[in-house]
Amino acid sequence: MKNKKILINSKDSNYNIYVGSNLIAQINKILKKDKINAKNFLIIYDSKVPFKIINILRKKIKENIIFHKFYSSEKNKNQKSVNKILNIMLKNNFNRNDCLIAVGGGIIGDVSAFAASIFKRGLKFINIPTTLLAQVDSSIGGKTGINSDYGKNLIGSFYQPDLVIADIKFLKYLPKRELICGYAEIFKHSIISDKKFFYFLLNNFEKIINLKKPYIDQAIYKSCFIKKKIVEKDVKEKNLRKTLNLGHTFAHSYEATYKYSKGLNHGEAVLLGINSASEFSFKKNLLNYKEYKLIINHISKINNSLKINNYFNKKDTNKLLGYIKNDKKNISKKINLILINKIGQVSYNNFFELKEISKFIRNQFL
């Protein structure tokens, strides 16, 4: 696939997402084309990003650049890290026309974007996502955030980037488990809005996960395109964007119960969450048996040990419910679930008593 460009065109912002290979080597041209005419750049990069990539950026960007290495973890996704970034920019007299670049996964993107949104009420921000998950999901749509003692991503803002560069070359440095994490969100996007894409994923999973061209490029491009269509209509998650939370109410309770440890990463929790949301939709007579089986069989194919009983048991029910109850998306006592009507179509106005969710969770362990 040739390198592609997707324009996100929402009410108060426009920016391009470039998808392709070797884009980093063309960054100076892209900056010029997209009119990023900053004099100073601060590059926040993940400690795991290979040095040679950082060196390409150093050589290609002719303006003044400062580099800041970030050891990304949920623990470091906090106000202290944001303050460090802000202080570097303040010390170096950055102004609003200068630019912050995040080079890393979702954590670095979220922290950097949050810092960009509050620095002098907003400076230029470029996201260069290096993980599959960040390329297909978290780099698009302007959600920024940090964690607090009270929970994950509870402090943040909506702040759109000026540019996103998803360079597929980065993916070869990722372990398979990390790639599956991103694949979970791609799969989610297909269930939300594109049956044809869903079948493409079912037929080409192995090729995608082994980064075979043009399958990986097509999967990333299509996934970004689905998200574009949704966030353009509803940036602030008042209605349609809620659909992107398919499986996530369950997923957050699963990963929180694991204390966000490596025992269950976000993508695995999302796949378990999609499994639960599919089962709930089937039990509510929304999703038919054939499509329900297609979804859960694909999850088994992705990782055969991703079964709820392998991670939790009946004794965990109250803990799981506690997290579901405190989900930041809830605005009343009832629990809002995204449910699947059919593959390619989900609904977001579904509210349930906690009692009913409790019964469902308990029954998952039978």
- Where on the chain is the footprint of ligand GLY (CB under 6 A)? 137, 141, 143, 241, 244
Nearer to ligand GLY, 140 or 168 (CB): 140
What is the Cα–Cα distance from 119 to 44, expressed in whole angstroms? 15
Q: Helical H runs in the chain? A: 27-33, 51-60, 79-91, 106-118, 132-133, 176-193, 195-209, 215-233, 248-257, 266-283, 289-302, 308-311, 317-325, 354-364
Nearer to ligand GLY, 72 or 223 (CB): 223
In the complex, the smallest distance separating the C-beta of residue 191 from ligand GLY, rounded to whole angstroms, is 14
Of the pair 143, 298, the CB lying nearest ligand GLY is at 143
Q: How far is the CB of 33 from ligand GLY (least distance, A)?
A: 26
**Shortest separation between residue 336's beta carbon and ligand GLY, angstroms:** 14
Q: Which is nearer to ligand GLY, 115 or 230 (CB)?
A: 230
Least distance CB 221 / ligand GLY (angstroms): 17
Give the three-state DSSP class for 294.
Answer: helix
The CA-CA-CA angle for residues 302, 308, 314, to 5°, reads: 175
Extract long-range pairs of 5-14: CB within 8 Å, 24+ residues apart.
6/221, 6/224, 6/225, 6/228, 8/140, 8/141, 8/160, 8/228, 8/231, 8/232, 9/232, 10/160, 10/231, 10/232, 10/235, 11/235, 12/160, 12/235, 13/142, 13/160
Please provide the distance, in angstroms rounded to a whole number, between the alpha carbons at the two ends of the chain.
46
Minimum distance of ligand GLY from residue 145's CB (angstroms): 11
Tokens 């999850």 found at? 299
Toward ligand GLY, which CB reaches closer, 77 or 241? Answer: 241
Minimum CB separation of residue 113 from ligand GLY in Å reads 12
* Closest CB to ligand GLY among residues 98, 327: 327
